Structure 1
Amino acid sequence: MPSAAQNSAARNSAAHTIENLLPSAEERLEQMIADIQRLVEVETPSEDRAAVAAGAAETAALAADRLGTMPERVVVEGATHLRLRFGPDKPKVVLVNHQDTVWPIGTLARKPFSRDGEALRGPGVFDMLTGVVMSLHAAAILQAAGHDLTGLGILITGDEELGSQTSRELLLEETAEANAAFVMEGALDTSLKIARKGTSMYTVAAHGVAAHAGLEPEKGVNAGIALGLLLPQIEALGDSKLGTTVTPTVLAGGVTDNTVPDYATVEVDARATTVAEQDRVDREIRELTSPRQGARVEVVGGINRPPMERSAAEGLFAQAQQVAAELGIGEITGAEVGGASDGNFTAAAGVPTLDGLGATGGGAHAEHEHALVKNIAPRTALLAGLIAGNLD
């Protein structure tokens, strides 16, 4: 059992660590911005496996530069992910990141990395390359201060924007023994995400009968009309009182302009705050039938991410508020949001999870994507404090 003197020394050491985190992060700010630019300028659209692999190589090199350790490269079904562990065992604290983006190759040519004084801009700068750099520098700050990083893991995946189809098992394996998962997604303000809706993704198809639109349209069954009649039914599966949304999005159908279409589809985005609501929507969308005589409905897809319920974040959120107060960086509030992340998976697996620790800014997946410079250092210091507090 530690002596009273040892306990006192540990408290003094922790206080000293907290005291120096913000100045250390501020000293690193220009280097962090240069590192963000380094990653932004390697375009990594999720669907392009070669591009994601190139981005992973650059990210791994950056990690080695900042931390002196090369991450392990993990390739699953052609998608490249990075895993960095400090120590031989499964980590107790995991920083959850992704370096794939929604932006196609060539975006950088018209939308290069830039800094206008207040904001950083460029494809993926907010979602979520700034968060990746913050992860590496938070660990580096502690390392430089002599903090033992044994038990820390940093995961940087390459298919989060596709639903983490190849990285989900890796994520759950890496966090299986963790007492904290910190998800480096961005936030619109200085709040942290303490709850997220679960997501489901479907393709609803209407099958009809093709016919010549001019000679004998009466012999066809128009799949486009059948699908159109289904759209209000699909939307009605939502429940605003419970926060459930079911949204038809991408529509497609038809082959030629003189043919009655025999096939039409709609992509459906469904989000819910509880597992029960996810299950209800899943059941009811599969029970849809067409009001158009002769048409048939097919539904493929299903539940992708379970909800991240508030209970998973409450303990870590209280810690974050305390660390923020000790750092003097202002009040930290909690937000419940509709968007999903890999935090949904870790929370559903019973791992304490706090999300939204990355950049502040906005415009994820949009032309005005940006990360605010003023909050990069304070939030990196906050992350470092949370890591230290959960490794001790």
Structure 2
Amino acid sequence: MSAKALSTWCRGRLDELLGDVSMLVHHETPSTGKALLDDAADSILAWLRERLGEPTEVVRHEHAEHGDLLEVTYAGTTAAPVLLVGHYDTVWPAGTVDRWPFAVREDGTATGPGVYDMKTGLVTGVWAVLALREAGLPCPAVRFMFNGDEELGSPMSRPHIERAAPDCRATLVLEPGVGWDVKAERKGVGIFTITTRGVEAHSGNDPTGGASAIHALADIIHRISREADLDRGTSINVGTISGGTARNVIAGEATCLIDVRVAEQSEVERIDAVFADLAAADPRVQVQVEGRWSRPPMRLTPVSRELFELADEVAASVRAPLEPISVGGGSDANFVSALGFPVLDGLGASGEGAHALHEHVIVDRIPDRVALVAGILAELAEEQSGGRA
């Protein structure tokens, strides 16, 4: 059966597939809602067993605050597994689904909180394995890693993903795509807080006795904003500022939150040096920089390009060739890429509106997405068995 035929098979069961998407959407999973995340994780494990049977191995990496990481392995026709990564947490607060339930609309889209980012992607990965089984086609061993802390930067699940990737033939990340295309490169993400602490004084009676934390922070913001280099893919955004106590008080403390995006690892080092050198013009003001690089840059390395070319062949047989898209956001694919292992991202749903009220997926394209992932898996299985040059 061809990859195109797998899409046709999926269309015949589209209502059932959409039922799975609806089930996941109606399990609300805000990244900070531990009880809701745990309930959803229970349902995901039950759903995997319902669709694919009893796994070879199940490891639930539990965390007291974040959503658990589900590591579920199914045997296949190869020894080396393919890693399928996705997250079940969303940015949407509890109660959102009550006023915005999952729905298939007359315009051919399906909407609901998290439907695009990225619960349809989870369904795509599971149904890809199911399609290969139903067709009797080769399917490698697969290891699903579904995590509940991705929207927070994957602080708990990152080391587990980095540990699993080296033992896998490839990693496919089920984040939403860009139209029909996939995400081959992503920017690195830095999240930082700058705090300035000065000396409070009455702004009218003692204007020279104080040292303004707000004025110092304004100068620092002006300096770091000049370090952006869009030609090299480096952007710096100060998202929030807070500080001071009253209009007529020289501010004793001020804080800003900064988002940094970089396309190159060398820019990580350059920005780190900028932050390390920050100081206020007034020596009475202390400057503190806190934060981390939550994700390294993801580049289209030679091994990932080989994986992309394989996916491109499959995609051409299903719908159309692929373009390797570069995007500004980060994902768990960044971790795998930084380690030097083959990874491809954006294999989940086609649609728009991640983190926005117009979030939706294009229903008619879901079967083709399932066929794309299934075809990639089949090609990787044949490769390991010696059937692909």
User: Does the alignment reach a TM-score above 0.5?
Assistant: yes
| Equivalent of residue 198 in structure 2, options 191, 203, 208 | 208
Q: 2:63 aligned with 1:62, yes or no?
A: no
Code of the aligned partner of 2:112: G
Q: How do residues 74-153 of structure 1 correspond to structure 2 at under 5 angstroms? A: 74-79=61-66, 80-87=68-75, 91-117=80-106, 118-147=108-137, 149-153=139-143
> What is aligned with 1:27?
12
Q: 2:23 aligned with 1:38, yes or no?
A: yes
**Structure 2 gap ranges (5+):** 383-389
Q: How do residues 147-296 of structure 1 correspond to structure 2 at under 5 angstroms? A: 147=137, 149-212=139-202, 216=206, 218-255=208-245, 259-292=249-282, 294-296=284-286
SS state at 2:93 partner: coil
CA contact (8 A) 1:85 1:91 kept: no
**How far 1:292 sits from its partner (Å)?**
4.2
Whole-angstrom CA distance in 2 between matches of 1:306 and 1:217: 45
Query: Does the C-alpha gap of structure 1 residues 167 and 244 become closer, same or farther in structure 2, counting only changes over 3 Å?
Result: same
Could you list the per-position Cα deviations for residues 247-271 of structure 1 after superposition, in whole angstroms to 9, with x for gaps in the alignment?
1112222345664331111111111
Whole-angstrom CA distance in 1 between matches of 2:93 and 2:250: 34
> What is aligned with 1:323?
314
Could you list the per-position Cα deviations for residues 195-248 of structure 1 after superposition, in whole angstroms to 9, with x for gaps in the alignment?
111111111111112334566454332212221222121211111221111111
Whole-angstrom CA distance in 2 between matches of 1:91 and 1:29: 31
**How far 1:388 sits from its partner (Å)?**
1.3
Whole-angstrom CA distance in 2 between matches of 1:121 and 1:215: 59
**How far 1:56 sits from its partner (Å)?**
1.1
Whole-angstrom CA distance in 1 between matches of 2:98 and 2:246: 35
The two structures have a TM-score, normalised by structure 2, of 0.91
Whole-angstrom CA distance in 1 between matches of 2:247 and 2:12: 63
SS state at 1:299 partner: strand
CA contact (8 A) 2:304 2:341 kept: no
Whole-angstrom CA distance in 1 between matches of 2:80 and 2:65: 25
Code of the aligned partner of 1:162: L
The two structures have a TM-score, normalised by structure 1, of 0.90
Moved more, 64-73 or 126-135: 64-73
Measured on the aligned residues, the alpha-carbon RMSD in Å equals 2.0
CA contact (8 A) 1:152 1:391 kept: no
Code of the aligned partner of 1:235: S
**Structure 1 gap ranges (5+):** 1-15
How many percent of aligned residue pairs carry the same amino acid?
35
| Equivalent of residue 303 in structure 1, options 281, 293, 299 | 293
Whole-angstrom CA distance in 2 between matches of 1:55 and 1:287: 45
Q: Deviation above 6 Å: which 4+ runs of structure 1?
A: none
Code of the aligned partner of 1:318: E
Could you list the per-position Cα deviations for residues 252-305 of structure 1 after superposition, in whole angstroms to 9, with x for gaps in the alignment?
223456643311111111111111111111111221112345222110112221
CA contact (8 A) 1:209 1:220 kept: yes
Q: How many residues align?
A: 376
Could you list the per-position Cα deviations for residues 126-150 of structure 1 after superposition, in whole angstroms to 9, with x for gaps in the alignment?
1111101111111111122234545
**How far 1:94 sits from its partner (Å)?**
0.7
Code of the aligned partner of 1:336: S
